[in-house]
Amino acid sequence: MPSEDVAQARRHSQYALVSAHDIDAERLIDFASRVWPERPPYERILSCWWRHAASGCAAAVVHQSTGIMVGLCAGRPSEWVVAGQVYPAISICDFFVDPQHEGKLLGRRLLRHFEAPGRLLNALSISDIAAAYLGRMGWTGPYASSLMVMPLPRVARIFHRMMVRRAGLDLADYAIAGGQMPETLGADLDRIEAARAHDAPAHMRRGASEWSWRMSIYPDQTYRFCFAYRDAQPLGYVAVRAMSPGRSRQMGRLRGALMTDLVALHDDPTTLRVLAVRAVAMAAELGATVALFVTTACSHRRALAAIGFVSPDFPVFGRTLARRAPTYMWLPRGPGAGLAAEDMTMTFADSAVDLDL
């Protein structure tokens, strides 16, 4: 065996790759204190989304001789539609390695744990350090998404009521809690997804099963949906939920609302604008002082900017948004081999951001 292979085998024997579910609370908190010492309380790692998902959603690396946890990588499962074909996908998130154990290829070992033939690997909202590591692993990117903000939703909703009436669309609202997806709502989600499967950019498949999985992670959270119809046919939807105050260091205790997702058939600008207006109204009804949306799609940016959302292109304040906007990357193999940045539509729904905030 070549000396390099011997050295790698020796390093591997010093560390074990296990399900993160096998790590007890005390070791998880200790790990958090070492990888983000400036971000207490460290107990918040115990409420991460992957702790409520299947055991295969997160892997950990344990130092064999001491038993301490030194690495973590979570993968949010989904399906992606690329060029009209459906592929299994994993979105990498919560990717950390203890600085005291760097240089031992532990990050590569964690990432490769999630690789599989025919699977798309991507990531949205990762740190600069993680992005640099993924780049060395051959990932494409990072590319910047657009973080868009509507300040004072209670004021903004007053100016858009006429737009909704003039659009000629029928709107229907739903509030879903307890992780229960009504059959009629699930059927409309599947109808929208089926109608856009062949002409939309590459995107996460957003049907009933995807939303049922998402709501099963935190069944106590309430999602508010608005569906747009014409002649009883669903044309799109928007989903909104209240953020948990204090979960975001940047927002502190500020009451905010996330537009988790926004979908319209053929990216129709009127449908997008009307649904975004309804999302602002729902954010106001939730008592939010700010509504947030993240997107990689030009159609989203144009529609939201048209109704007053502040974008990274906005003078002065836009620079702050640009610095805080999540970045996205993907592994250019298998389904991801032919993708370009402009070929992918991603929102808060595609990452763990919605689940953790």
- pLDDT tens, residue by residue, 38-93: 988 999 999 999 999 999 999 999 999 999 999 999 999 999 999 999 999 999 99
What mean pLDDT do residues 287-297 have? 94
- pLDDT for 160 equals 61
CB-count burial class (<10 Å; 0-12, 13-18, 19+) for 13: exposed
- pLDDT category at 10 given cuts 50, 70, 90 is low
Angstrom distance (rounded) from CA 357 to CA 352: 8
pLDDT at 230 over 90: yes
* Predicted structure pTM score: 0.91
Residue type, 311: S
pLDDT at 330 over 90: yes
Among 146-155, 277-286, 348-357, which is the least confidently predicted range? 348-357
More confident residue, 181 or 357: 181
Burial 143-175 (b: 16+ CB within 10 A, else e): bebbbbbbeebeebbeebeeebeebebebeebe
Q: Specify which residues 74 forms β-bridges with.
A: 58, 93
Q: What is the CA radius of gyration of the chain?
A: 21
What mean pLDDT do residues 87-109 have? 94
Q: Say how many C-beta atoms besides its own lie within 10 A of residue 330's C-beta.
A: 27
- pLDDT for 254 equals 74
Q: What CA–CA distances, in Å, run from 243 to 12, 120, 251, 254, 339?
A: 40, 29, 10, 9, 32
CB 262 within 8 Å of CB 279: yes
- pLDDT for 200 equals 87
CB 174 within 8 Å of CB 227: yes
CB 114 within 8 Å of CB 342: no
